[in-house]
Amino acid sequence: MPYQTINPASNKLIKSWPDHSDSQIEQALATADALYHSDWSKGAIQPRLQVLKKMADLIDSRVDELAEAASIEMGKLIEQSRGEVQLCAQIARYYAENAERFLAPTSYPSELGEAWVENHPIGVLVAVEPWNFPFYQLMRVLAPNLAAGNPVMAKHAKNVPHCAVLFESLVKEAGAPDGAWTNIFASNDQVANLIADDRVQGAALTGSERAGSSVAQQAGKYLKKTTLELGGNDVFVVLDDSDLDKAVKAGVGARLSNCGQVCTAAKRFLVHEKVADRFLEKMTEAFKAVKIGDPLDASTTLGPLSSADARDTLDKQVQQAKAKGAKIVLGGAPVPGEGCFYQPTILTGITRDNPAYFEEFFGPVAQIYVVKNDDEVVELANDSHYGLGGSVFTKDIARGKALASRIETGMVYINSATNTSAELPFGGVKRSGYGRELSDLGIKEFVNQKLVVIS
């Protein structure tokens, strides 16, 4: 598949983008590697932080333009695209203001002498990124690594090339030298070759298990470090003592935001039997009230899926779930006509032998499970290959905290949907991947934490 801008709301091709040749990629790698060996990477941090600060200001001044590009390429509601763009400015500013402190040397009291750990860049990184947050996914890699001094070669998903190019030009306009961030329209083979190259020291990937496994295998073969942020099958737990209206509102948002294409979206709703009927009724009403349409129209509340493939894959999963015994309470089909729209869908009656029980549904499809007690919540939540995020709704915070500590995921939110913010670590366990992005943890993933001891 070529790099193409196709508007998923109309399924019309807007522009094709040429692939980069092997020699273009070699040239880009040589430039990035030279930058790593220069004062830019090895010298003072301030010039790099200035670029991040400028980038935050540039993004803030272009929210509408950037948001529109994202909505056109992958179908996100325009208001949500604006939110994504603003979050990018926050992340850039956060690292501009905090990276120096995060990377400062840390003392280690020791009998062997005066000891400390310094943080140094490690070299060129490869980033492989998905389309669901076409700017935020890039910023999560750029901001910490630009601050740390690691040049990045970024391979974006095939359906968001315009966002990839806009992002690269913002980094340049903010004053970063050539090689600090290079967008490459590369094939998977070209990415594999880059990872094998001695000048590359690590790879960060967000995407599917299939892509993560392939990149991690190649990196493992050549002994390069990776971070992986893969899928999720997050639970959204509604206990009998929760504020039901608050839980329904948050749950609907957590399932339908970005048309359900979020790794940390609420995918499995575990609802206590005492409130299950009322929850289902309220959620069904809310799903029925959704206005499907053009993501650029501010009155639309559910846009298209990102591509025809995404819609068809989701529909196959829903039909298979039904064939294996699930009940479709609402929806369960693509919206007829142009564009990659799918009806908001609610499934119940999913048993453990139904493939839907373990699969991630990347779209507006909610699975509802009725639970009797907190032990059953934990059993169901942890009976998953994934371990990314999760939410627990309860008025009893001690009960919520106890559940949070028993759920095997990288993140748990009590009384809100799983969220993200520059200062909070983001990442998972099990097949949701490993490593953390954002916060002080994210900036330490690809630095040489070098020990120095004076005896």
Helix, strand, coil % in the chain, rounded to nearest 5: 45, 20, 35
Q: How far is the CB of 352 from ligand NDP (least distance, A)?
A: 20
Q: How far is the CB of 163 from ligand NDP (least distance, A)?
A: 12
Helices assigned H by DSSP within 130-275: 136-148, 161-173, 188-196, 209-221, 244-256
Q: How far is the CB of 398 from ligand NDP (least distance, A)?
A: 32
- The single residue of 168, 229, 360, 445 carrying the catalytic annotation is 229
Sign of CA dihedral 126, 421, 161, 49: negative
Rounded-to-integer distance, Cα 293 and Cα 341, Å: 8
CB atoms within 10 A of CB 374: 17
Q: How far is the CB of 41 from ligand NDP (least distance, A)?
A: 25
| Residue 13, amino acid | L
Rounded-to-integer distance, Cα 349 and Cα 234, Å: 18
Which CB, 73 or 129, lies closer to ligand NDP? Answer: 129
Please say if 259 is a catalytic residue: no
Q: How far is the CB of 211 from ligand NDP (least distance, A)?
A: 3
Please say if 263 is a catalytic residue: yes
Take residue 98 and report the two structure tokens written for it.
Answer: 């905090």
Please, what is the end-to-end C-alpha distance for the chain in angstroms?
59
Which CB, 70 or 280, lies closer to ligand NDP? Answer: 70
Which CB, 201 or 306, lies closer to ligand NDP? Answer: 306
Which CB, 35 or 263, lies closer to ligand NDP? Answer: 263
- The single residue of 163, 259, 263, 340 carrying the catalytic annotation is 263
Which CB, 158 or 255, lies closer to ligand NDP? Answer: 158
Q: How far is the CB of 401 from ligand NDP (least distance, A)?
A: 27
Sites of contact with ligand NDP (CB under 6 A): 128-130, 132, 155-158, 188, 191, 206-208, 211, 214-215, 229-231, 263, 360, 362
Which CB, 157 or 381, lies closer to ligand NDP? Answer: 157
Give residues with Cβ within 8 angstroms of 153, minimum separation 6.
25, 28, 29, 32, 124, 125, 126, 127, 182, 184, 194, 200
Q: Side by side, which strands form the sheet with 106-107? A: 106-107, 114-121, 447-454
Rounded-to-integer distance, Cα 29 and Cα 199, Å: 8
> Mind telling me the catalytic residues?
229, 263
